[in-house]
Amino acid sequence: MKTVYFILLMTLAISSHSFAQKSSYDESLAKQLQADDYGMKTYVMAILLAGDRVNEYSPDQRAEIQKGHMANINRLDENGKLILAGPFIDGKEKRGIFLFNVSTKEEAEALTNTNPAIQAGVLKMELIEWYASAALQLLPEAHKKVQKTGF
């Protein structure tokens, strides 16, 4: 009898735990973020690589290209197309990443081609489709709350 009682108690505990987890589901937010039943969606990640034409530019020219690169990042963020961006610390061949809020490589490539550093050949990008939490789209707003100064 103790075993039956224990099994019944465990089933009840598991059921209430599962219910508690499901009760936090926000259907409206899931629809707004285009989440699937797992709370996930497809993004496109760009790995930024050192371009082949870096040495063709003077330091002043590269500084201007970098300003355009940063302005482009800010524009993509304002348009809701960029979830996150950032450089790798070592700064070697792999320069950084972008996570685009788009579902196809073609859309990401079109956005990539608006970047002055890509246009100048200072950077190039490898595009990879990535399946991750739809809630990542909330990251830019959260970042604005912790960012003290802009770029």
What is the average pLDDT across 56-79?
A: 96
SS3 assignment, position 110: helix
pLDDT for position 23? 67
**CATH architecture of the domain covering 35-146:** 2-Layer Sandwich (3.30)
| Dihedral sign of CA atoms 127, 107, 143, 119 in order | positive
Q: Where are the domains of the chain?
A: 35-146
Whole-model pTM: value is 0.79
Q: Are 111 and 100 in contact (CB under 8 A)?
A: yes
Instruction: Report which residue type is found at 94.
Output: K
What is the average pLDDT across 25-53?
A: 97
- Nearest residue to 58 (alpha-carbon basis) of 122, 125, 114: 122
Q: Are 43 and 102 in contact (CB under 8 A)?
A: yes
- Nearest residue to 43 (alpha-carbon basis) of 144, 135, 125, 145: 135
pLDDT for position 150? 73
Q: Are 33 and 41 in contact (CB under 8 A)?
A: yes
pLDDT beyond 50 at 122: yes
Summary mean pLDDT of the chain: 88
